[in-house]
Each structure stands twice: as C-alpha cells, then as structure tokens.
Structure 1
Amino acid sequence: MTTLPTLQAVRTTPEGLLWEPGERWVRGRKGDITVVDSRRPVLVWEPGVPVPLYAFPRADVREDLLRPAKNPPTGTHTGSRIFYDLDIDGELLANAAWTFPAADLADHIAFEWFRRSGKGLDHWYEEEEEIFIHPRDPHKRVDAIPSSRHVQVSIAGTVVADTHRPVLLFETGLPTRYYVPREDVRLDLLEATDHHTGCPYKGTAGYWSWRGEADVPPNLVWSYPDPLPAVGPIKGLLAFYNEEVDITVDGERLERPVTPFSRKPAPAT
C-alpha cells in the first residue's frame, strides 16, 4: 500500500509570525560567493506582509561571513532579535541578515534580497531555477488563460484598448488582470518609460504612461516581453491597472478595485 506524505501545516508564533517547513533546495549568493545552501528552508510570513521570505538553519549558512551589525535597525522584521552585517571580501553589507525573536525560529537566519530591498544577496535559486524579489508563495496560484471575452479599456473617456482575444491572468488575492495584444491597443496614446519591475511569478515588466492630461498616475500600463514559462500566454501583451482605468468586459463595466496598487502603481501584477 502506498503511503501519502503528510502535508506540513502552517504554524503560528506568539509574535504573530506564520511559518512552515519547505522542501526546496535553496541557495543564496552575493556575486560568486554562496552564502546560503539549504535543503531545509523555512518559509516565514511577517504580520501585515503579503509575501513570504526564507529563513535557514544556521548550519546551512556561511556564518563566518556574518558580523554583529554595527547599526542594527529597530522596529523591523517583527522585532528581530539580532542583526548581522555581511562581510564579502572586505565589503560590509549592513543589516543583510537577522534572526527572529520567535523560539520556533531561534536557530534560523533570514536574509535581505537585493532586488526587493536594495541590499543583501543578489542571486537566489530554487533547485536550478533563479528566482527574484521574494520566494514564491506555495499557497498562491497564478493562471494565465486565453479568452474570447470582449474587453475594452478606457482612460478619461477615450478607448485605449479593444479586443476579443485577451489573456486573463488570475492571481490569488488580486483582481483579474486583462492582457491585450499590442495590435488591439492605441499605442499612440501611450509613452514608454524607463520603469521596470520584477515579479517572482511572471518575470520582468516594462511600462508605459498615458500621454494625455487625465488625472492618472504614471506607469499604469505594463508588459512582460519575456515572461516565465508558467505564464507564457501573456508574452508581449499589455495590461492596465484596473484601479486607475475603466474596463468593460462583455458590455459590463467593472468596478475599480481598491488594492495596495491603487493610485500609486508599483510592482506589476
């Protein structure tokens, strides 16, 4: 008889942290130096932070590269107990690592990710795939599904996109995003910017802003020219922040959702 593996339950600490054991082989590097190499990572969710981070057993960390922080911050990472500076060939990276106060995680060390916070380790791998910004949440799903719905996008009363061949992107916890082929978008009404963001589920996005005088924020249109394989159908298509434009689907105008991206669009979704 085949015995099914027991699923790991998410656990809670008195400090409000959520965590669960992971089974992926994770490595973190600074340049060519491997600082973390672990087959026993722990996923940690801090209170009020929607994305997880990794913490690692001390035995899987190059502790010889860590120094007690010269100027440890306060009030960050859920009252972290100890901060470390990372010494890479004489270059000291301030507060690049820390431990949590939770007893469950006392023997684990977490690290900053450069592409998320601007400091810390700059290359991360799960198995042989490089990942960016933060670990992918095992409880989150992202599906890119081609559709034949009639989608129209308007800005200040002007129709900017009109298509019957969108790709709908469904992502846990966020409104549906409607990706539109370039041929069905009024690109003459948009202006490319030098803004880029990274997403661990989709890849790196480039942006456009509205050329007109309407009261809309910059960088409200984005596209993934080379998305990750899991969301390949959105390659080269353009999406708009539902929070800031008017979207009509099959004749029904959608309400503008209120999300963390409202008014100040940030990472692409």
Structure 2
Amino acid sequence: MPLFPTERSVRTTPEGLLWEPSDRWVRGRKGEVTVVDSKHPVLVWEPDVPVPCYSFPREEVRTDLLQQARNPTPGRHTGSQIFYDLLAGGEVLENAAWTFPAADLAGHISFEWFWRRGSGLDHWYEEEEEIFIHPRDPHKRVDALPSSRHVRVEIDGTVVADTRRPVLLFETGLPTRYYLPREDVRLDLFEPTDHSTGCPYKGTAEYWTWRGEGEVPRNILWSYPDPLAPAAAVKGLLAFYNEAVDITLDGERLQRPRTPFSDTLTPSRTR
C-alpha cells in the first residue's frame, strides 16, 4: 500500500541499519568548498548509535575530491565499508567519507561531521539553516516548558539551587533537564571553564565547575546563552547533570539516571 505524503517510511537492512529518505535540501562544505549538494539525502541510523547520519547519492557528491583511503579505519561504522580521503582546500582529510555495505544504500556516500569527530566537513546546512554536530532526528522532540514545580539541587549535601520557577526541558531519549534562574542558583560555588559543547537542537553551551569539596565531575553546570528556537525558553538559565547531582522534585528525591553521558562524568578532584 503506498504511503501518504505525511507518513514516514523507516526501513531496515540485514546489517541492522535503519534508513529513511529525507525531503530536506542538504549541503556540506569543507571551508569554502561545497562537497555535497543534495536534494535526495537519506538518514541512516547505525546500531547502538543514538543519532543519525546522512548518506547521499553519488551524483550529488563531489566525488572528484575523493580518493580511496590510504589508512582505512575498519570497525568505525557498521559493516565492511569503503573509506575515502577527502582532498579539499589544500588539505587531505583521512577517512572523511565512507559507504555502507547495505544493498539498499548502494550508490550512497556518508561523511564525517567535524564538530562530532574532529574531522570531516565543517559546515552543514538544511535548507538555509546551518546545523551542527549531527543531523536532526525527525523522530526526536525537544520541548522547553516553563513550570512552577519545586526543584532543589544538592551536591554532597550542600543545597546549590532552589527554585519554584524552573523550565523543564523534555528531550526524547534523555532524562528531563531542569533549567533554573541564575538568581536561584548558588553560582558563587562554581567557577566558569573554557569548555563548550554544541547541540543541533539547543545550540552552544557554556559550563561551570564545582569549587567545593568532594569528588564532583568537572563542567557539572551549563547554560545556553543564545539557544536555538526549539529551546528558546532556556536562554540564560542554568542546568545540572542529573547523573551526578541530587535533585528533589516537589519533595521527592529523584534517582540519578544512567545515560550516555554517565561514563564521561568522571570526578575532577578531591580536596
């Protein structure tokens, strides 16, 4: 039965890949060189990878800038791929592109994103909007909702935040994040760092580290000073990693969640 235009068709390959055609116009650049200009991209999800990548028809890729990789990296992606080095802007970017072995994706090429891997194409656009880190997942939602719930945050028994005017950020696949007004956070107990991260849904975050005693991960506190539209309500507010602090919500102590971030939150020091 044919699908209606508003329905989505996610397909599975024998290799365990999920893929879905996209209607978005996608372009990828290395510096000033446009390497990809595609109106027929495909979103691909690899097993155990929580975010998708794009794969593009060869005819919409500057294949003249690709050469078979001199030092391929088998195992980085699903299946026995062919890897390519990219020659652009006077640079050779090793393993910047690859193909999946799936028959469904024959004739398609995928690329690394610089801000995710530290190599690959460094500017990506969906229509006329620049996007970062990885493609946005059409099956993922980000909702930032003002609330009057009572949120209290403790670190090693010290109350570091207490508010009844949080913004709750609900993001598919992650625990609820509690964004708090600065006036309701003991920011004097933290010091700013030069760490930053990017998110295709929220923007670029700045971070603070705990100044007190105890084994507390660095960069435990963050804020989006200029968030993207889906998260505009959290502008300038502060959030903690639920994975490493104690949060009490309306009088109920929440269990610390286990997430992909848990293993990266290693204690910084003990005083």
Q: What TM-score results when the alignment is normalised by the length of structure 2? A: 0.95
Q: Is the 8 A contact 1:244 1:263 kept in 2?
A: no
Runs of 4+ in 1 over 4 A off after TM superposition: none
Q: Distance in 2 between matches of 1:89 and 1:199?
A: 26
- Tell me what 1:148 maps to: 148
Q: Distance in 2 between matches of 1:90 and 1:188?
A: 47
Secondary structure of the residue aligned to 1:71 is coil
Question: For residue 210 of structure 2, what is the amino acid of its counterpart?
Answer: W
Question: 1:244 — aligned with what?
Answer: 244
| 1:163 equivalent in structure 2 | 163
Q: Hey, what's the Cα distance between the residues in 2 that align with 1:6 and 1:137? A: 16
Output the CA distance in 2 between the equivalents of 1:56 and 1:4: 24
Alpha-carbon shift at residue 219 of structure 1 (Å): 0.7
Partner of 2:62: 62
Whole-Å Cα distance in 1 between the matches of residues 208 and 172 of structure 2? Answer: 25
Bigger CA drift: 87-96 or 37-46?
A: 87-96
Contact 1:16 1:46 in 2 (8 A): yes
The alpha carbon displacement at 1:8 in A equals 2.9
CA distance in 2, matches of 1:265, 1:222: 13
Assess, with a 3 A threshold, how the Cα gap between structure 1 residues 198 and 94 changes in structure 2: closer, same or farther. Answer: same
Whole-Å separation in 2 of the counterparts to 1:136 and 1:249: 30
Name the CA distance, whole Å, in 2 between partners of 1:155 and 1:182: 17
1:191-210 paired onto structure 2 within 5 Å: 191-210=191-210
Q: Is the 8 A contact 1:84 1:98 kept in 2?
A: yes
Question: Are the counterparts in 2 of residues 217 and 263 from structure 1 also a CA contact under 8 Å?
Answer: no
Unaligned runs of 5+ in 2: 267-271
Report what 1:180 is aligned to: 180
**What is the one-letter code of the residue matched to 1:43?**
L
How far apart are the structure 2 equivalents of 1:90 and 1:193? Answer: 34
Distance 1:58 1:262 in 2: 38
* Deviation for aligned residue 1:4: 4.9
For 2:176 and 2:194, locate their aligned partners in 1 and report how far apart those are by CA, in whole Å.
25
1:50: which partner in 2?
50
Q: Which residue of 2 aligns with 1:109?
A: 109
Residue 74 (structure 1) aligned with residue 80 (structure 2):
no
In structure 1, the partner of 2:33 is 33
Please give the root-mean-square deviation of Cα atoms over the aligned residues, in Å: 1.3
Unaligned runs of 5+ in 1: none
Shift of 1:130: 0.3
The DSSP-based 3-state class of the residue aligned with 2:230 is helix
Structure 1 232/46 Cα, relative in aligned 2: closer, same or farther at 3 Å?
A: same
Q: Deviations over 1:21-63 (max 9, x none)?
A: 0000000000111100011100000010000000000010001
Q: Quick one: distance in 1 between partners of 2:171 and 2:8? A: 23
| Cα distance per residue 1:121-157 (max 9 Å; x no partner) | 0000000100000001011111000001111101011
The answer to whether the Cα contact below 8 Å between 2:42 and 2:56 also exists between their aligned partners in 1 is yes
Q: Give the superposition deviation at 1:216.
A: 1.5
Look up the match of 2:229. Answer: 229
Q: Which amino acid in structure 1 is aligned with residue 67 of structure 2?
A: R
- Shift of residue 260, structure 1, vs aligned partner: 1.4
Letter in structure 2 aligned against 1:131? I
User: TM-score, normalised to structure 1's length?
Assistant: 0.95
For residues 199 and 6 of structure 2, the distance between their equivalents in structure 1, rounded to whole angstroms, comes to 30
